[in-house]
Structure 1
Amino acid sequence: MRFPRSSDPELLDVINRYVNPTINGTGRYLRLLHGNFLHDDESERAPFLQSLRAAARAITDEELEILLESEWRSRLTAAWLIGVSRREHFRDVLGDMLLASQLCFSGQGYCFALARFGTEEDALYLAAYLERYLQRPDCQYDQHWAISALLHIDSRAGTEYATRFLTPGGMWQQWSEAQFKPSVPSRFIDELCAWADSPR
């Protein structure tokens, strides 16, 4: 068993069906982590995305809730499945979990899902996250994912929520310069969302 032992057979069943499945030799959650599937060859990426879309259609809301109450791998996978299937009724749950930032890596999935929903409500969650965690140079959490998701929403909706964070000398620059490798925000969420929509 890959995850911490649990006496809950229902949880283990859902994990084994949606988090652990191996496609092309790698577990689903590992391909989602950091958007690793973007680096696959097309021959590997296509079946992975087909499997991901099928899982997003098949999983029930109750099963997603079970995963969201588990550890980071399950939460990361659940958030991706929610984003792919655009189950917007999970918005507040994911937004609150993003702000809480209790577990490593799972915030990547929350940011992806909020970007997929793409509304003002989603932008406000992402902006609140950046407002809180860009003021914490000691926290290298999911700031890159959040700013990329916010830029994605801005580009689709014609809004400017990310602008105030990106002014010269502003919050992003200060936080970034406090890290080991100062960086310019990347638009990688655009590519992730495009692949999620791709018919291939």
Structure 2
Amino acid sequence: MRDAEEADELDQLVRQYVTPGRRYLKLGGSLLRMSGPERAEFARSLGEDAGKISDAGLGVLLGGSWRERKTAAWLIAVAGRTEFRERLGELLLASEGPYAGRAYCVALAGFGTAADAGLLVAYLDRYLGRPDLPYDQPAALGALLLLDARLRSDRAARFLTPDGLWERWLDGMPGTDLGSPAHQRDFIEQLCDFAAESGRGIST
């Protein structure tokens, strides 16, 4: 009976927060291509839901598939719910599924502390040595560079030395154009700005 109740709860949360307007597909680069009115309405709706969903509901979504996890991470980012920092770091490091990792990076970058930078460093230490696993390394590096700029730190520097981990990781994927590290930083910054814009109306 408990399993059925949990499935019903997840289904209700998905219908309320994940699938309306195919939200889960728009959370990412698509946001940056929206027109002004569309962007404003999407940000308003996202902020409203980020303020409304409970911590328990977010926990349930984080236990779901990539659609639920991606949406939950964005709602967490918009509402600035730093109590989920460690959980997002664990999910990023585990990399159990596709498509959600960038959302974890956006949330961590938006939280903006040295603790968040440490979680990104742990991910890069593990996965930049694995060119056979092209997961969310660009997003994590971009998020770390953004945090470095905001915190006046240089945690990303050791990954970017000549023949360093980033360069060697790229060498393992010939023909793949991921843009420069600066491009990755700017992209994550734009997504963080959208999250901040969406969260401005949330009561604290």
Q: Same fold (TM over 0.5)?
A: yes
> How far apart are residue 152 of structure 1 and its match?
1.1
- Give the equivalent residue in structure 2 for 1:168: 162
Quick check: which one's helix share is greater?
2
For residues 161 and 21 of structure 1, what CA distance do their matches in structure 2 show?
A: 39
1:31 and 2:26 are equivalent in the alignment:
yes
Number of residue pairs matched?
190
Q: Looking at both structures, which has the greater relative contact order when contacts are Cα pairs under 8 Å and sequence separation is at least 6?
A: 2
For residues 63 and 120 of structure 1, what CA distance do their matches in structure 2 show?
A: 27
- Give the equivalent residue in structure 2 for 1:11: 10
Q: After TM superposition, which residue ranges in structure 1, 4 or more long, deviate above 6 angstroms?
A: none
> How far apart are residue 195 of structure 1 and its match?
2.0
> How far apart are residue 43 of structure 1 and its match?
2.1
1:135 and 2:129 are equivalent in the alignment:
yes
User: Residue 107 of structure 2 contacts residue 192 of structure 2 at CA under 8 Å; is this kept in 1?
Assistant: no
- Give the equivalent residue in structure 2 for 1:177: 171
- Give the equivalent residue in structure 2 for 1:43: 37
For residues 166 and 142 of structure 1, what CA distance do their matches in structure 2 show?
A: 16
For residues 129 and 115 of structure 1, what CA distance do their matches in structure 2 show?
A: 14
For residues 171 and 196 of structure 2, what CA distance do their matches in structure 1 show?
A: 34
Give the alignment's TM-score, normalised by structure 1: 0.90
1:20 and 2:23 are equivalent in the alignment:
no
- Give the equivalent residue in structure 1 for 2:114: 120
Once the two structures are superposed, the pairs formed by residues 78-89 of structure 1 within 5 Å of their partners are 78-89=72-83
User: Residue 74 of structure 2 contacts residue 195 of structure 2 at CA under 8 Å; is this kept in 1?
Assistant: no
For residues 147 and 49 of structure 1, what CA distance do their matches in structure 2 show?
A: 26
For residues 116 and 29 of structure 1, what CA distance do their matches in structure 2 show?
A: 19
For residues 124 and 197 of structure 1, what CA distance do their matches in structure 2 show?
A: 22
CA displacement 1:61-104 (0-9 Å, x = unmatched):
00000000100000000011101111111111110111000010
For residues 189 and 139 of structure 1, what CA distance do their matches in structure 2 show?
A: 21
Query: Cα RMSD between the aligned structures?
Result: 1.6
Give the alignment's TM-score, normalised by structure 2: 0.89
1:72 and 2:66 are equivalent in the alignment:
yes
1:154 and 2:145 are equivalent in the alignment:
no
> How far apart are residue 171 of structure 1 and its match?
0.7
For residues 103 and 130 of structure 1, what CA distance do their matches in structure 2 show?
A: 17
Q: Which runs of 5+ in 1 are unaligned?
A: 1-5
- Give the equivalent residue in structure 2 for 1:3: none
Q: Which runs of 5+ in 2 are unaligned?
A: none
Task: For 2:161, give the aligned amino acid.
Answer: T
